[in-house]
Amino acid sequence: MTKDIKVAIIGVGGVGKAFISQLANFIDRNRSSASVSVVYISRSSAALISKNYQPLSLTAFVPEQLDAAGAPPLSVPDLIQFLKGSGGEAILIDNTSSIDLANQYPDFLNAGIHIATPNKKGFSSEKKLWDDIFAAAGNNGGTGGYVFHEASVGAGLPVISTVKDLVDTGDEITKVEGVFSGTMSFLFNEFAPVGSSDPPRAFSEVVKVAKDAGYTEPDPRDDLNGLDVARKLTILARLSGLDIASPTSFPVQSLIPKPLESASSSQEFMDGLPNFDGDIGKLADDAKREGKVVRFVGSIDVPSKAVKVGLEKFDVSHPIAGLKGSDNIIAFYTKRYGDRALIVQGAGAGAEVTAMGVLSDVIKIIARIK
């Protein structure tokens, strides 16, 4: 029998738009045994709702369609009721970075609604939320909906699935280290490239390029303050067996200049950043004098429970120094793999590669639905 699955999508920014286009293509190619229909799409101020559960058209979707439809977004209880009202299975796609929505994942899961999301907040905030999500979820044999969040670390790269496979098959992760931010990777690869004799570009200029390319968080301060990397390490450390209280419970180096910490908006911060190009330029110059480059990295040492995030210097021959574009490199040291790490590398930010991670989660959910 064909499985009938309704999909609700919240968030139509860079990732949301790319996801809708990839999902439309997936449905057109009829790549599953399920009949998948999108019945709800919303952004912060407006929504498109198919009250009779007929599929919304995804052809040439643009976010402005939501505003033109003129409907306000449903509250979470109303959205849960609407999705349950279809009588079949339902998947919520959270393509926002909202903590308010993430706080309500347990309600969706307890109602039997599955979740696929690139939003890190649900899995990297206070430990209680993590516990509540996985207590409600059906992933470990419970009765709730399934929850998958591959794109919350390394965008579409197989990072979460790799950790789960290692742990589920009985391996022991001892250390995880590398470059976990597409934005930070891009900034330092562009601003302090290995072996370039060109004069370096201004740091603030490269931040703007990263923002325009869709690599940064909605507010780039969330990347530059190290919190985005801290969130990713919190997720990986928890999956590796550590009881991390929150992403601010271990040392995290911020690159936000002190005087800009009080900037009242993202725009005010971006406008003020060029005044501090010299400070970060000096860090790169100092490293260059030692024949090294500076890169923003993170590590988890499982036996000592030590997690840290910040700048480090690397020899120009080190694999981390040689990264290009928005590439992440994540090395897993485990009992089975010994001294030679299992390494995952590739683009770690960008709308298309992130949307691919979310769609791959949707496909996993469809496969699990009976």
Ligand X SMILES: NC(=O)C1=CN([C@@H]2O[C@H](COP(=O)(O)OP(=O)(O)OC[C@H]3O[C@@H](n4cnc5c(N)ncnc54)[C@H](OP(=O)(O)O)[C@@H]3O)[C@@H](O)[C@H]2O)C=CC1
Ligand Y SMILES: N[C@@H](CC=O)C(=O)O
Q: DSSP E strands: which ranges in 146-234?
A: 147-148, 173-179
Among 22, 119, 181, 189, binds ligand Y (CB under 6 A): 181
3-state secondary structure 313-353: EEECCCCCCCCCCCEEEEEEEECCCCCCCEEEEEECCCHHH
Nearby residues of 138 by Cβ (< 8 Å), 6 or more positions away: 109, 114, 144, 145, 146
Query: Residue 37: which H helix or E strand, with range?
Result: strand 34-42
In angstroms, what is the minimal distance from the CB of 358 to Na ion? 10
Among 124, 183, 234, 334, binds ligand Y (CB under 6 A): 183
Determine the size of the site formed for ligand Y (CB under 6 A).
Answer: 11
C-alpha distances in Å from residue 189, one per residue of 294, 321, 362 = 9, 8, 33
Residue 16 is labelled as binding a ligand: yes
Among 157, 206, 227, 284, binds Na ion (CB under 5 A): 157
Determine the size of the site formed for Na ion (CB under 5 A).
Answer: 5
In angstroms, what is the minimal distance from the CB of 344 to Na ion? 8
The token pair at 97 is 């970075």
Q: Pick what 223 binds: ligand Y, Na ion, ligand X, none; C-beta below 5 to 8 Å, kind-dependent.
A: ligand Y
Among 106, 154, 193, 247, binds Na ion (CB under 5 A): 154
Question: Out of 6, 17, 121, 232, which one is annotated catalytic?
Answer: 232
C-alpha distances in Å from residue 255, one per residue of 123, 149, 194, 222, 281 = 24, 27, 21, 10, 12
Give yes or no for residue 159 binding Na ion (CB under 5 A): yes
Q: Pick what 218 binds: ligand X, Na ion, ligand Y, none; C-beta below 5 to 8 Å, kind-dependent.
A: ligand X
Instruction: Pick the stretch among 115-123, 173-181, 240-248, 327-335 that binds ligand X (CB under 6 A).
Output: 115-123
Nearby residues of 365 by Cβ (< 8 Å), 6 or more positions away: 91, 114, 116, 146, 148
Between 113 and 351, CB nearer to ligand Y? 351
Instruction: Give catalytic status of residue 313 as yes or no.
Output: no
Q: Which positions are annotated as active-site residues? A: 232
Contacting residues toward ligand X, per CB under 6 A: 10-16, 42-45, 63, 73, 95-98, 100-101, 118-120, 151, 155, 182, 214-215, 217-218, 349-351, 354
